[in-house]
Amino acid sequence: MLHKNSSSKTSKKNDKHLANIIEQNIHTIINTRRTAANQRSTEERLADAITDFSGHMYFVYFHIIWFGVWILINLGYFGVKPFDPYPFGLLTMVVSLEAIFLATFVLISQNRLSAEADRRADLDLQMGLLTEHELTRVIKMLDAIQDKMGIENDSDLELLDLEEDVHPEDVLAEIDRVQRRISQAKK
């Protein structure tokens, strides 16, 4: 029973340490995103604000009301003289201009978000490469320890493969080769 409690305390201590690391990583991510948001130019902030506004249902509701009132006024309702009679050429021009600018603002925001995603992907790749390098070194060290202790381990070919450094360009070349083979098989 004493052993179980000791193990439980160690587990809780490890969980707390892990929770602290996770919380630290979350704070790092939040701070990184906050820094990126603060580094946006005025134009990028404007594009993001417009994109954010246009990406909500109240944008749709606003347009339904606007188009409805415009059309009703120009059909002669409300006792107002039509300023854009049917087929509503002015409305068509205004909506077309709005669509052009809105698409441009969305593209500006998407370009910025894409650049941020590329940066995060680069970080992820670097962390993966670092992890791969560290694990390869650990496997080599464990192999050396086994050799020193006289433990036979040379029969595991997969383990021997894991001791080799992995080069990203080799992995990419293999991905390309497999994709070409699959696409040729489909033809």
DSSP 35-104: HHHHT--HHHHHHHHHHHHHTSHHHHHHHHHHHHHHHHHHTTGGGPPPSS-TTTHHHHHHHHHHHHHHHH
Q: Return the pLDDT at 6.
A: 52
Tokens read off for 53: 């506004």
Which pLDDT score, from 0 to 100, does residue 150 have?
87
Q: What angle do CA 3, 9, 14 make, to 5 degrees?
A: 125
Distance CA 144, CA 151 (A): 10
Q: What is the pLDDT of residue 2?
A: 45
Across the 187 residues of the chain, what is the mean pLDDT of every consecutive 10-residue run? 53 72 88 89 91 94 96 92 94 96 94 91 89 89 88 73 80 88 88
Whether the CB-CB separation of 134 and 165 falls below 8 Å is answered with no
**Where along the chain do its domains lie?**
1-39, 40-186
pTM of the full structure: 0.64
Peptide bond into 87 cis (omega under 30): yes
